């Protein structure tokens, strides 16, 4: 267990393993994304209330739910950085922040585009929308904090702490629609519903899109982390070997 | 685990728990302000003073919407199934404004009537195709027409 743990923490090991897995993951993501998008945008039946407007659901929900995974990921990596000082954990955390910020921004924007025709407004300061905006600012804060501190070690520690604090916001976002009254509707219950709503024609394409967007997130994170590894390990022999071999 | 690591982990756990409790308590204390709207029951209980700008939310009561013939004036009853609140509004309603659906209105209470300056539609988390909805409505009608006995076909 501890051997596995320390092996996982080795940037070289991660770089080599991800080289092997990445092509498969990209193919998988491309297939799922194509099937999911075509299905969601062309074949999902017209909603009895919203017509075709709710097809944005198939982009908004996967992006928003995966953006919530970012802070727990960064907080987990932060704890590993602070306690075990594992280099790879901080590289992942650093790479995750901008990706999470983009996912959060896309969730906010698609939400606004969905809100305008259905609710009648782009934005309302309800608990769900406000806490999501706070997550966006917290992620921008983490990115800014990292670039504001010159020493990489000090920056890693400060960002780890801010990520742990920021993760407290995630359950607030998740349960905001249940704890308070909001304009945003509660999460759709995808387990079989006795009143006939959210049947398989609704949730199957959603599931495919969630899998596709999740793969996209993981691929982006792996690519960014690999870049970070090459930059930080540029003085180690194995990176020099790669640079020499690939003539980059 | 080495002692200095265990100590660090404890400190982090302590900070995270302490902060979570602090945030949780503040949010709990602020929950009235975090709520987006007042319910008709809260209005009926006199929780809002008249003339105060607030938002109210509820369901549009079935059969309560009355539109003016020559202007955009519309009146409807917002209900939370315990209390009703009459809402008056001059303006364009969102597309999703329907009887039996959720609504959030911004404005103020005057003489027990809510004068809205803006009306937003709320939609729920249940999505259904037009066909499924039509089939369900038909099944509903069949049940209503059928002899009132426990002869449900389990649909």
Residue A226, pLDDT score? 93
Q: Which residues of B touch A46 (CB under 8 A)?
A: 129-130
Task: Number of A to B CB contacts under 8 A, please give it.
Answer: 131
**3-state SS, residue B47:** coil
Q: Which residues of A touch B23 (CB under 8 A)?
A: 168, 172
- Predicted confidence (pLDDT) at residue B152 exceeds the cutoff of 60: no
Q: What is the rounded average pLDDT for all residues in chain B?
A: 86
Provide mean pLDDT across the span B120-127.
Answer: 86
- Predicted confidence (pLDDT) at residue B3 exceeds the cutoff of 90: no
Residue A8, pLDDT score? 67
ipTM value > 0.85 = no
- Predicted confidence (pLDDT) at residue B50 exceeds the cutoff of 90: no
- Burial of A85 per CB tally in 10 Å (0-12, 13-18, 19+): middle
Residues of chain A with pLDDT under 50: none
Q: Which of B2, B34, B10, B86 is nearest to A180 (CA)?
A: B34
Residue B147 pLDDT grade (very low, low, confident, very high; cuts 50, 70, 90)? low
- Note the pLDDT tens digit of each residue in A139-196: 999 999 999 999 999 999 999 999 999 999 999 999 999 899 899 988 887 665 556 6
Residue B60, pLDDT score? 93
Closest CA of chain A from B111, distance in Å: 25
Strand pairing class (B113-122; B84-90): parallel
**3-state SS, residue B30:** coil
Query: φ, ψ for residue B70 (rounded to 5)?
Result: -110, 0
Q: Which of A43, A58, A30 is nearest to A203 (CA)?
A: A58
Q: How far is CA B42 from the centre of its chain?
A: 13
- Burial of A213 per CB tally in 10 Å (0-12, 13-18, 19+): buried
Find the residue in B nearest to A182 (Cα).
B36
- Note the pLDDT tens digit of each residue in B66-83: 998 888 999 999 999 999
> For A43, what's the count of Cα atoms within 13 Å in the CB-facing half-sphere?
12
Residue B153, pLDDT score? 47
- Note the pLDDT tens digit of each residue in B98-115: 888 899 999 999 888 999
- Global pTM exceeds 0.80: yes
Residue B154 pLDDT grade (very low, low, confident, very high; cuts 50, 70, 90)? very low
Closest CA of chain A from B9, distance in Å: 6
**Which stretches of chain B sit within 8 Å of chain A by CB?**
5, 8-9, 12, 15-16, 19-20, 23, 27, 31, 34-37, 39, 57, 93-98, 101, 104, 118-133, 135-136
């Amino acid at each position: 267990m501890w051997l596995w743990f320390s092996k996982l923490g080795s940037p070289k090991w991660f770089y080599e393993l991800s080289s092997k897995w990445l092509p498969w993951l990209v193919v998988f993501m491309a297939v799922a994304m194509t099937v999911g998008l075509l299905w969601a945008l062309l074949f999902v039946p017209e909603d009895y209330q919203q017509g075709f407007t709710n097809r944005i659901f198939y982009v908004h929900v996967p992006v928003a739910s995966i953006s919530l995974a970012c802070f727990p990921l960064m907080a987990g990596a932060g704890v590993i950085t602070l306690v075990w000082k594992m280099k790879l954990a901080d590289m992942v955390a650093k790479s995750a922040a901008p990706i999470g910020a983009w996912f959060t921004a896309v969730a906010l924007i698609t939400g606004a585009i969905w809100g305008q025709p259905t609710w009648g407004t782009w934005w309302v300061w309800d608990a769900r929308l406000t806490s999501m905006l706070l997550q966006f600012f917290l992620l921008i804060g983490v990115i800014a904090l990292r670039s504001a501190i010159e020493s990489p070690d000090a920056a890693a520690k400060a960002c780890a702490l801010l990520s742990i604090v920021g993760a407290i916001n995630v359950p607030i976002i998740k349960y905001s629609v249940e704890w308070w009254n909001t304009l945003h509707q509660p999460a759709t219950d995808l387990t079989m519903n006795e009143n006939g709503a959210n049947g398989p024609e609704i949730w199957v394409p959603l599931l495919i899109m969630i899998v596709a967007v999740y793969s996209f997130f993981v691929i982006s994170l792996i690519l960014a982390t690999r870049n970070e590894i090459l930059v930080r390990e540029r003085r180690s022999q194995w990176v020099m070997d790669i640079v020499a071999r690939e003539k980059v | 685990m080495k002692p200095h690591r265990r100590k660090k982990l404890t400190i982090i756990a302590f900070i995270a728990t302490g902060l979570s409790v602090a945030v949780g308590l503040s949010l709990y204390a602020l929950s009235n302000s975090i709520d987006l709207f007042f319910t008709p029951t809260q209005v009926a209980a006199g929780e809002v003073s008249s003339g105060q700008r607030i938002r109210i939310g509820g369901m549009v009561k079935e059969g309560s919407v009355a539109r003016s013939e020559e202007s955009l004036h519309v009146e409807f009853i917002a209900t939370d199934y315990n209390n009703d609140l009459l809402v008056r509004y001059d303006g364009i309603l969102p597309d999703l404004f329907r009887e039996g659906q959720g609504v959030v209105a911004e404005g103020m209470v005057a003489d027990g009537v809510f004068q809205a300056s803006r009306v937003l539609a709320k939609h729920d988390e249940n999505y259904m195709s037009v066909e499924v909805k039509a089939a369900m409505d038909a099944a509903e009608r069949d049940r209503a027409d059928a002899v009132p006995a426990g002869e449900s076909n389990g649909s």
